[in-house]
Amino acid sequence: MAMQFGSKVFARASLVLCLGFVNPNAWAAYPDSSLTMAIAFAPGGASDISGRLLAIALGKQMGQQIVVENRPGGGGAIAANYVKNAKPANGYTLLFTSSVYVVTPSLVKPSPYDPLKDFIPVCEVGAAPNVIVVRADSKIQTVGDLIKLAKSNPNLISFGSPGTGTTPHLAGEVIKSREGIGMTHIPYKGAGPAMIDLMGGRTQILVGSLASVMAEIQSGQVRAIVQTGTQRWPELSNVPTTTEAGIKDAVSVTFQAMFVAAGTPPEIVTKLSHECTTVLKQPEMIEKMKKVGLEVTAYDSEGLRARVVRELPLWKEVIEKAGIKEQQ
Protein backbone atom coordinates (compact mmCIF):
# COMPACT_ATOMS: atom_id res chain seq x y z
CA MET A 1 0.00 0.00 0.00
CA ALA A 2 2.82 2.38 0.93
CA MET A 3 4.57 1.68 -2.38
CA GLN A 4 1.30 2.22 -4.32
CA PHE A 5 0.68 5.51 -2.51
CA GLY A 6 4.25 6.65 -3.22
CA SER A 7 3.81 5.83 -6.89
CA LYS A 8 0.63 7.94 -7.09
CA VAL A 9 2.35 10.87 -5.42
CA PHE A 10 5.29 10.60 -7.84
CA ALA A 11 2.93 10.39 -10.81
CA ARG A 12 0.99 13.46 -9.69
CA ALA A 13 4.20 15.38 -9.06
CA SER A 14 5.47 14.45 -12.51
CA LEU A 15 2.18 15.60 -14.07
CA VAL A 16 2.42 18.95 -12.30
CA LEU A 17 5.99 19.39 -13.53
CA CYS A 18 5.00 18.53 -17.09
CA LEU A 19 2.07 20.92 -17.01
CA GLY A 20 4.42 23.60 -15.80
CA PHE A 21 6.36 23.42 -19.04
CA VAL A 22 3.29 24.17 -21.15
CA ASN A 23 1.65 26.63 -18.76
CA PRO A 24 1.87 30.14 -20.22
CA ASN A 25 2.79 31.44 -16.77
CA ALA A 26 6.00 29.43 -16.99
CA TRP A 27 7.23 31.91 -19.63
CA ALA A 28 6.57 34.97 -17.49
CA ALA A 29 10.23 35.19 -16.51
CA TYR A 30 11.45 35.21 -20.13
CA PRO A 31 14.20 36.04 -20.73
CA ASP A 32 16.09 34.82 -17.68
CA SER A 33 19.47 34.54 -19.43
CA SER A 34 21.34 36.09 -22.34
CA LEU A 35 20.08 35.72 -25.92
CA THR A 36 21.93 35.21 -29.20
CA MET A 37 21.27 37.22 -32.35
CA ALA A 38 22.58 35.64 -35.56
CA ILE A 39 23.12 38.35 -38.18
CA ALA A 40 23.03 37.05 -41.76
CA PHE A 41 25.85 39.26 -43.06
CA ALA A 42 29.45 40.21 -42.32
CA PRO A 43 30.31 43.19 -40.09
CA GLY A 44 29.93 46.66 -41.57
CA GLY A 45 26.77 46.30 -43.64
CA ALA A 46 23.21 47.50 -43.09
CA SER A 47 22.05 44.33 -41.34
CA ASP A 48 25.06 44.34 -39.04
CA ILE A 49 24.72 48.03 -38.15
CA SER A 50 20.97 48.02 -37.53
CA GLY A 51 21.06 44.60 -35.89
CA ARG A 52 23.67 45.70 -33.37
CA LEU A 53 21.78 48.90 -32.59
CA LEU A 54 18.66 46.84 -31.93
CA ALA A 55 20.55 44.22 -29.89
CA ILE A 56 21.88 46.87 -27.51
CA ALA A 57 18.56 48.67 -27.06
CA LEU A 58 16.42 45.53 -26.89
CA GLY A 59 18.82 43.92 -24.44
CA LYS A 60 18.48 46.90 -22.10
CA GLN A 61 14.71 46.86 -22.52
CA MET A 62 14.47 43.16 -21.62
CA GLY A 63 17.14 43.18 -18.92
CA GLN A 64 19.41 40.64 -20.61
CA GLN A 65 22.41 40.89 -22.90
CA ILE A 66 21.89 40.00 -26.55
CA VAL A 67 25.09 38.51 -27.94
CA VAL A 68 25.60 39.22 -31.65
CA GLU A 69 27.09 36.58 -33.94
CA ASN A 70 27.77 37.33 -37.62
CA ARG A 71 26.98 34.25 -39.71
CA PRO A 72 27.32 35.43 -43.32
CA GLY A 73 26.97 33.49 -46.54
CA GLY A 74 24.54 31.48 -48.60
CA GLY A 75 22.29 34.42 -49.34
CA GLY A 76 21.35 34.58 -45.66
CA ALA A 77 20.80 30.80 -45.51
CA ILE A 78 23.71 30.07 -43.15
CA ALA A 79 22.32 32.29 -40.41
CA ALA A 80 18.76 31.18 -41.14
CA ASN A 81 19.57 27.50 -40.82
CA TYR A 82 21.60 28.11 -37.68
CA VAL A 83 18.53 29.63 -36.03
CA LYS A 84 16.17 27.09 -37.60
CA ASN A 85 18.18 24.20 -36.14
CA ALA A 86 18.80 25.73 -32.71
CA LYS A 87 17.05 23.56 -30.11
CA PRO A 88 14.86 24.13 -28.28
CA ALA A 89 12.90 26.80 -30.15
CA ASN A 90 12.46 28.97 -27.09
CA GLY A 91 13.12 32.55 -28.23
CA TYR A 92 16.72 32.69 -27.06
CA THR A 93 18.19 32.44 -30.57
CA LEU A 94 17.17 35.26 -32.92
CA LEU A 95 17.63 35.69 -36.67
CA PHE A 96 18.39 39.18 -37.92
CA THR A 97 18.35 39.45 -41.69
CA SER A 98 17.34 41.58 -44.65
CA SER A 99 15.05 41.30 -47.66
CA VAL A 100 17.28 38.41 -48.73
CA TYR A 101 14.95 36.37 -46.51
CA VAL A 102 12.17 36.59 -49.14
CA VAL A 103 14.51 36.26 -52.12
CA THR A 104 16.75 33.27 -51.40
CA PRO A 105 13.93 30.67 -51.40
CA SER A 106 13.15 31.57 -55.04
CA LEU A 107 16.78 31.90 -56.12
CA VAL A 108 18.46 28.89 -54.53
CA LYS A 109 17.39 25.41 -55.60
CA PRO A 110 16.57 23.43 -53.64
CA SER A 111 15.34 26.13 -51.29
CA PRO A 112 17.36 26.11 -48.04
CA TYR A 113 14.30 26.97 -45.93
CA ASP A 114 10.59 27.68 -46.11
CA PRO A 115 10.09 31.36 -45.20
CA LEU A 116 6.46 30.80 -44.18
CA LYS A 117 6.83 27.55 -42.23
CA ASP A 118 10.33 27.44 -40.75
CA PHE A 119 10.26 30.81 -38.98
CA ILE A 120 7.95 33.15 -37.13
CA PRO A 121 8.19 36.90 -37.84
CA VAL A 122 8.98 39.02 -34.78
CA CYS A 123 9.37 42.60 -35.99
CA GLU A 124 10.47 44.67 -38.94
CA VAL A 125 13.04 47.26 -37.96
CA GLY A 126 13.02 49.47 -41.01
CA ALA A 127 13.51 49.86 -44.74
CA ALA A 128 15.62 51.95 -47.10
CA PRO A 129 16.22 52.34 -50.81
CA ASN A 130 19.16 50.73 -52.53
CA VAL A 131 21.88 53.02 -53.87
CA ILE A 132 24.51 52.72 -56.57
CA VAL A 133 27.78 54.26 -55.43
CA VAL A 134 31.17 54.79 -57.09
CA ARG A 135 34.50 55.90 -55.69
CA ALA A 136 34.85 59.62 -55.20
CA ASP A 137 37.50 59.78 -57.95
CA SER A 138 35.49 57.71 -60.45
CA LYS A 139 34.90 59.12 -63.93
CA ILE A 140 31.34 57.82 -63.67
CA GLN A 141 29.41 60.93 -62.66
CA THR A 142 25.84 59.82 -63.36
CA VAL A 143 23.87 56.64 -63.93
CA GLY A 144 23.73 57.76 -67.58
CA ASP A 145 27.53 57.57 -67.69
CA LEU A 146 27.35 54.08 -66.21
CA ILE A 147 24.84 52.89 -68.80
CA LYS A 148 26.88 54.39 -71.65
CA LEU A 149 30.09 52.70 -70.49
CA ALA A 150 28.37 49.36 -69.93
CA LYS A 151 26.86 49.48 -73.42
CA SER A 152 30.21 50.31 -75.00
CA ASN A 153 31.89 47.31 -73.38
CA PRO A 154 29.81 44.61 -71.63
CA ASN A 155 32.90 43.32 -69.81
CA LEU A 156 34.04 46.70 -68.51
CA ILE A 157 31.82 47.13 -65.45
CA SER A 158 31.70 44.81 -62.44
CA PHE A 159 29.34 45.57 -59.60
CA GLY A 160 29.63 44.41 -56.04
CA SER A 161 26.67 43.60 -53.81
CA PRO A 162 26.19 42.28 -50.25
CA GLY A 163 25.56 38.83 -51.74
CA THR A 164 23.65 36.76 -54.24
CA GLY A 165 19.92 37.15 -53.76
CA THR A 166 20.07 40.34 -51.73
CA THR A 167 17.79 43.11 -52.94
CA PRO A 168 20.81 45.27 -53.87
CA HIS A 169 21.96 42.43 -56.13
CA LEU A 170 18.52 42.17 -57.69
CA ALA A 171 18.32 45.96 -58.03
CA GLY A 172 21.47 45.82 -60.12
CA GLU A 173 20.13 42.94 -62.19
CA VAL A 174 16.85 44.77 -62.82
CA ILE A 175 18.73 47.85 -64.08
CA LYS A 176 20.80 45.60 -66.35
CA SER A 177 17.63 44.04 -67.71
CA ARG A 178 15.73 47.31 -68.15
CA GLU A 179 18.62 49.05 -69.95
CA GLY A 180 19.93 46.02 -71.84
CA ILE A 181 23.48 46.42 -70.54
CA GLY A 182 26.17 44.01 -69.44
CA MET A 183 27.69 44.15 -65.97
CA THR A 184 29.42 41.37 -64.07
CA HIS A 185 28.00 40.72 -60.61
CA ILE A 186 30.51 40.10 -57.81
CA PRO A 187 28.76 38.80 -54.66
CA TYR A 188 30.21 39.36 -51.19
CA LYS A 189 29.27 38.18 -47.71
CA GLY A 190 27.97 41.60 -46.75
CA ALA A 191 28.30 45.23 -47.80
CA GLY A 192 31.41 45.74 -45.65
CA PRO A 193 33.64 43.44 -47.74
CA ALA A 194 32.02 44.78 -50.93
CA MET A 195 32.94 48.34 -49.93
CA ILE A 196 36.54 47.32 -49.29
CA ASP A 197 36.87 45.99 -52.83
CA LEU A 198 35.18 49.06 -54.33
CA MET A 199 37.66 51.31 -52.54
CA GLY A 200 40.48 49.05 -53.68
CA GLY A 201 39.43 49.37 -57.32
CA ARG A 202 38.52 45.71 -57.76
CA THR A 203 34.95 46.68 -58.71
CA GLN A 204 33.70 49.81 -60.43
CA ILE A 205 30.38 50.23 -58.64
CA LEU A 206 28.63 48.96 -55.53
CA VAL A 207 24.90 48.45 -55.16
CA GLY A 208 23.97 48.49 -51.49
CA SER A 209 21.17 49.44 -49.18
CA LEU A 210 21.41 53.07 -48.10
CA ALA A 211 22.15 52.07 -44.50
CA SER A 212 25.21 50.10 -45.60
CA VAL A 213 26.83 52.94 -47.58
CA MET A 214 25.62 56.10 -45.85
CA ALA A 215 28.75 56.55 -43.71
CA GLU A 216 31.04 56.42 -46.77
CA ILE A 217 28.76 58.80 -48.68
CA GLN A 218 28.80 61.29 -45.82
CA SER A 219 32.58 61.03 -45.43
CA GLY A 220 33.08 61.70 -49.14
CA GLN A 221 34.79 58.38 -49.84
CA VAL A 222 32.09 57.37 -52.33
CA ARG A 223 29.52 59.18 -54.43
CA ALA A 224 25.92 58.07 -54.94
CA ILE A 225 24.71 58.27 -58.55
CA VAL A 226 21.18 56.85 -58.30
CA GLN A 227 18.76 55.55 -55.67
CA THR A 228 15.97 52.99 -56.09
CA GLY A 229 13.25 54.41 -53.83
CA THR A 230 9.96 55.89 -54.96
CA GLN A 231 11.22 59.33 -53.92
CA ARG A 232 14.53 60.94 -53.04
CA TRP A 233 15.94 60.22 -49.60
CA PRO A 234 16.08 63.54 -47.68
CA GLU A 235 19.82 63.28 -46.98
CA LEU A 236 20.46 62.48 -50.67
CA SER A 237 18.29 65.18 -52.18
CA ASN A 238 20.75 65.71 -55.03
CA VAL A 239 20.68 62.04 -56.10
CA PRO A 240 17.95 61.07 -58.59
CA THR A 241 15.72 58.02 -58.30
CA THR A 242 15.79 55.37 -61.01
CA THR A 243 12.45 56.68 -62.28
CA GLU A 244 13.83 60.20 -62.54
CA ALA A 245 16.86 58.82 -64.36
CA GLY A 246 14.58 57.26 -66.97
CA ILE A 247 14.87 53.66 -65.80
CA LYS A 248 11.36 52.23 -65.70
CA ASP A 249 10.05 49.76 -63.10
CA ALA A 250 13.29 49.57 -61.12
CA VAL A 251 12.02 50.64 -57.69
CA SER A 252 13.22 48.50 -54.77
CA VAL A 253 13.85 48.80 -51.04
CA THR A 254 15.72 46.65 -48.55
CA PHE A 255 14.07 45.86 -45.22
CA GLN A 256 15.75 44.69 -42.01
CA ALA A 257 13.86 42.33 -39.73
CA MET A 258 14.00 39.79 -36.93
CA PHE A 259 12.62 36.24 -36.83
CA VAL A 260 12.62 33.22 -34.52
CA ALA A 261 12.39 29.53 -35.32
CA ALA A 262 9.02 27.87 -35.85
CA GLY A 263 7.78 26.23 -32.67
CA THR A 264 8.68 29.18 -30.47
CA PRO A 265 5.82 29.57 -27.94
CA PRO A 266 3.30 32.27 -28.95
CA GLU A 267 3.76 34.02 -25.59
CA ILE A 268 7.46 34.46 -26.34
CA VAL A 269 6.80 35.76 -29.85
CA THR A 270 4.23 38.22 -28.54
CA LYS A 271 6.58 39.51 -25.85
CA LEU A 272 9.53 39.81 -28.24
CA SER A 273 7.42 41.58 -30.84
CA HIS A 274 6.05 44.03 -28.28
CA GLU A 275 9.44 44.81 -26.76
CA CYS A 276 11.02 45.20 -30.21
CA THR A 277 8.43 47.64 -31.53
CA THR A 278 8.45 49.56 -28.24
CA VAL A 279 12.20 50.10 -28.52
CA LEU A 280 12.02 51.04 -32.19
CA LYS A 281 9.40 53.74 -31.58
CA GLN A 282 11.63 55.57 -29.12
CA PRO A 283 12.77 58.93 -30.61
CA GLU A 284 16.39 58.15 -29.78
CA MET A 285 16.28 54.87 -31.73
CA ILE A 286 14.49 56.47 -34.68
CA GLU A 287 17.23 59.10 -34.86
CA LYS A 288 20.04 56.53 -34.60
CA MET A 289 18.57 54.44 -37.40
CA LYS A 290 18.01 57.52 -39.55
CA LYS A 291 21.65 58.53 -39.18
CA VAL A 292 22.76 55.21 -40.65
CA GLY A 293 20.23 55.45 -43.48
CA LEU A 294 17.33 53.34 -42.25
CA GLU A 295 13.75 54.56 -41.91
CA VAL A 296 12.17 52.85 -38.90
CA THR A 297 8.93 51.03 -39.71
CA ALA A 298 8.51 49.14 -36.39
CA TYR A 299 6.07 46.58 -37.81
CA ASP A 300 4.99 43.94 -35.31
CA SER A 301 4.84 40.20 -35.98
CA GLU A 302 1.71 40.39 -38.10
CA GLY A 303 2.94 43.44 -40.01
CA LEU A 304 6.18 41.68 -40.89
CA ARG A 305 4.30 38.53 -41.88
CA ALA A 306 2.22 40.62 -44.30
CA ARG A 307 5.43 42.02 -45.82
CA VAL A 308 6.86 38.51 -46.30
CA VAL A 309 3.66 37.20 -47.89
CA ARG A 310 3.49 40.22 -50.21
CA GLU A 311 7.13 40.22 -51.33
CA LEU A 312 7.74 36.51 -51.87
CA PRO A 313 5.86 36.38 -55.22
CA LEU A 314 7.15 39.81 -56.29
CA TRP A 315 10.82 38.82 -56.09
CA LYS A 316 10.11 35.40 -57.54
CA GLU A 317 8.73 37.15 -60.62
CA VAL A 318 11.75 39.48 -60.84
CA ILE A 319 14.14 36.52 -60.63
CA GLU A 320 12.32 34.54 -63.29
CA LYS A 321 11.85 37.46 -65.72
CA ALA A 322 15.46 38.59 -65.41
CA GLY A 323 16.74 35.02 -65.68
CA ILE A 324 18.86 35.45 -62.56
CA LYS A 325 20.78 32.34 -61.55
CA GLU A 326 22.38 31.49 -58.26
CA GLN A 327 26.08 32.37 -58.09
CA GLN A 328 28.46 30.55 -55.81
For residue 139, the Cα-to-chain-centroid distance in whole angstroms is 32
Q: How far apart are CA 120 and CA 268, in angstroms?
A: 11
Distance from C-alpha of 236 to C-alpha of 227, rounded to nearest angstrom? 9
Determine which helix (DSSP H) or strand (DSSP E) holds 131, and give its type and residue range. strand 119-135
Equal CATH topology for 33-127+255-322 and 129-236: yes
Contact 73, 189 (CB under 8 A): yes
| Angle ∠(178,195,243) on CA atoms, nearest 5 | 25
pLDDT at residue number 328: 44
pLDDT at position 31 is 96
Q: What is the CATH class of 129-236? A: alpha beta
What is the average per-residue pLDDT within 1-15? 39
pLDDT at residue 12 greater than cutoff 50: no
Residue 161 DSSP one-character state:
E
pLDDT at 165: 84
Average pLDDT, the chain: 89
β-bridge pairing 184-187 and 93-98 = unpaired
Domain boundaries, the chain: 33-127+255-322, 129-236
Higher local confidence (pLDDT), 174 or 17: 174
Within 13 Å of residue 81, how many CA atoms lie on the same side as its CB?
A: 12
The answer to whether residues 157 and 134 touch, using CB atoms and an 8 Å cutoff, is no
CATH class of the region 33-127+255-322: alpha beta
Among candidate residues 124, 126, 45, the one with its CA nearest the CA of residue 309: 124
* pLDDT per residue as tens digits for the range 141-157: 999 999 999 999 988 99
Summarised one tens digit per residue, pLDDT across range 63-116 is 999 999 999 998 899 999 999 999 999 999 999 999 999 999 998 889 999 999
pLDDT in tens, 157-204: 999 999 888 899 999 999 998 999 999 999 998 999 999 999 999 999
Residue 222 dihedral angles phi and psi, to the nearest 5°? -130, 165
Report the pLDDT value the prediction gives residue 25, as an integer from 0 to 100.
54
Closest-CA residue to 44 (of 66, 70, 65): 70
pTM of the predicted model, to two decimals?
Answer: 0.82
